[in-house]
């Protein structure tokens, strides 16, 4: 390969991780979350690899339209809901499912769908705010909004959903509070026995609150939704496989003396004579510009670390103990033997941000 930097995506690992999700909730259907360009892994390729999922979850209608144009016929859920009235027509024409998270959407749906001849009825996911404080109607409004949706001739089904704010901290009391609030809302609709969805990746792996649909996202891409410091809940503990490997070329090697400056703002001064390599990746590629000294990388099988400030398309690494390193070698920034979750812990961001922030100028190679 002539690329200076490349992200290799293992589609078999994606399919494997989907099966792991099913094992945690064998009686539930699976909504595979591929929003934000599949967390930076590539929307279309990941959708193909996840054809065994019951539903695909995307951010907006634009992502859904891309999937339909490329022959993806699975059920697709628009997770951020309706932005304006033009979305309603597109959702109906493409046969999409959509999240309803505000009462104002009822009038919009009635106005637009009432004028259309629909090829088929639609499925709505009614989102409740049980304590997340982000999107969703209040539990007190559930019965009214649910009935208003169900009575429409264009409604096939209404699925109730909520999102847990602290599932990544399983011992948080808020988890139990949210689950209880959700259960009480469902009890008010007992005559309809609606299908439900609670668990995204963290809740699926650590809490027994699955519902009829689970919504794995991060875990599909081989990351743990829990803090790296929680050694008992890392990727390998759940049997997840790495999906993305990010690598870049080593383009320069220099010997430096004690006291030499490495990079901008003198973020690193050599404490003794040392060998420093320059790797062709930087913040314009999506590698975090605020990465501190000491973030781990792999040169072949040798583990070493960054030194100095990350530049636009270069970073420096310590090669003092990497005697076999040579210009042209591939340096691994994260991958199978260097989990993205560990890099996230070093850089102070979450692994979602690392993968979804990877620049489009970084080629994705699929295998």
Instruction: Classify residue 358: in a domain, yes or no.
Output: no
Contacts of 109 (CB under 8 A, 6+ apart): 82, 88, 100, 149, 152, 154
DSSP-derived letter for residue 335 is B
User: Do 36 and 184 fall into the same domain?
Assistant: yes
Active-site hit among 24, 39, 221, 264: 264
Catalytic: 29? no
Residue 161 belongs to what domain range?
A: 11-225
How far apart are alpha carbons 75 and 91 in whole angstroms?
A: 12
Euclidean distance between the first and the last CA atom of the chain, given in angstroms as a whole number: 14
Instruction: Classify residue 97: in a domain, yes or no.
Output: yes
Instruction: Classify residue 277: in a domain, yes or no.
Output: yes
Nearest Cα to 343, choosing from 301, 299, 302, 290?
290
CA distances, 82 to each of 92, 153, 159 (Å): 12, 19, 16
Cβ pair 293, 267 in contact under 8 A: yes
Per-residue burial over 327-363, b if 16 or more Cβ lie within 10 Å, else e, is eebbbbbbbbebbbbbbbbbbeebbbbbbbbbbeebe
If you write DSSP's letter for every residue of 261-296 in order, what string do you get? Answer: EESGGG-EE-SSSEEEEEES--GGGTS-TTPPTT-E
Instruction: Classify residue 36: in a domain, yes or no.
Output: yes
pLDDT for 1: 52
How far apart are alpha carbons 162 and 241 in whole angstroms?
A: 28
User: Do 190 and 251 fall into the same domain?
Assistant: no
Instruction: Classify residue 122: in a domain, yes or no.
Output: yes
User: Do 85 and 156 fall into the same domain?
Assistant: yes
The number of distinct structural domains making up the chain is 2
Active-site hit among 35, 213, 283, 287: 35
User: Do 181 and 272 fall into the same domain?
Assistant: no
User: Do 211 and 294 fall into the same domain?
Assistant: no
User: Do 285 and 216 fall into the same domain?
Assistant: no
User: Do 21 and 145 fall into the same domain?
Assistant: yes
User: Do 193 and 264 fall into the same domain?
Assistant: no
Strand pairing category for 5-9 and 244-256: antiparallel
User: Do 120 and 46 fall into the same domain?
Assistant: yes
Secondary structure (3-state) at 5: strand
Please list the rounded mean pLDDT of every run of 10 residues in the chain (367 residues): 89 98 97 97 97 98 97 96 93 96 94 88 97 94 94 95 96 96 90 92 94 97 96 96 98 97 95 97 96 96 96 97 95 97 95 95 96
User: Do 303 and 182 fall into the same domain?
Assistant: no
Instruction: Classify residue 365: in a domain, yes or no.
Output: no
CB atoms within 10 A of CB 101: 21
User: Do 30 and 72 fall into the same domain?
Assistant: yes
User: Do 195 and 292 fall into the same domain?
Assistant: no
CATH number, domain with residue 124: 3.20.20.10
CATH number, domain with residue 268: 2.40.37.10
Catalytic: 35? yes
Instruction: Classify residue 235: in a domain, yes or no.
Output: no
Torsion of CA 95, 93, 43, 170, to 10 degrees: -40
Instruction: Classify residue 89: in a domain, yes or no.
Output: yes
Secondary structure (3-state) at 366: strand
């Amino acid at each position: 390969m002539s690329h200076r930097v490349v992200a290799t995506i293992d589609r078999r690992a994606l399919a494997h991780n989907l099966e792991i999700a099913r094992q945690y909730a064998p009686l539930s259907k699976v909504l595979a979350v591929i929003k934000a360009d599949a967390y930076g892994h590539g929307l279309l390729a990941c959708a193909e690899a996840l054809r065994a999922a019951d539903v695909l979850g995307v951010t907006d209608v634009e992502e859904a339209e891309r999937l339909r144009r490329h022959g993806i016929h699975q059920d697709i859920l628009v997770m951020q809901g309706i932005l304006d009235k033009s979305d309603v027509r597109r959702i109906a024409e493409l046969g999409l499912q959509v999240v309803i998270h505000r009462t104002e959407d009822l009038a919009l749906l009635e106005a637009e769908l009432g004028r259309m001849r629909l090829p088929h009825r639609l499925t709505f996911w009614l989102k409740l705010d049980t304590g997340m404080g982000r999107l969703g109607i209040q539990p007190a409004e559930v019965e009214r909004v649910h009935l208003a949706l169900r009575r429409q001739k264009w409604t096939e089904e209404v699925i109730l959903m909520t999102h847990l704010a602290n599932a990544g901290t399983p011992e948080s009391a808020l988890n139990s509070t949210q689950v209880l609030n959700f259960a009480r809302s469902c009890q008010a609709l007992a005559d309809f026995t609606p299908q439900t969805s609670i668990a995204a990746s963290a809740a699926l792996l650590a809490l027994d609150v699955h519902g009829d649909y689970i919504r794995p996202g991060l875990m599909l891409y081989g990351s743990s939704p829990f803090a790296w410091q929680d050694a008992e809940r890392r990727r390998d503990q759940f049997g997840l496989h790495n999906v993305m490997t990010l690598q870049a070329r080593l383009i320069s090697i220099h010997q430096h003396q004690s006291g030499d400056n490495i990079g901008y703002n003198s973020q690193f001064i050599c404490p003794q004579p040392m060998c420093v390599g320059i790797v062709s990746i930087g913040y314009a590629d999506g590698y975090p510009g605020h990465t501190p000294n000491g973030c781990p990388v792999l040169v072949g099988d040798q583990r070493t670390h960054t030194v100095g400030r990350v530049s636009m398309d270069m970073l420096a690494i310590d090669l003092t103990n990497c005697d076999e390193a040579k210009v042209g070698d591939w340096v691994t920034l994260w991958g199978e033997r260097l989990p993205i979750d560990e890099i996230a812990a070093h850089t102070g961001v979450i692994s979602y941000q690392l993968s979804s922030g990877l620049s489009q100028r970084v080629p994705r190679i699929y295998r």
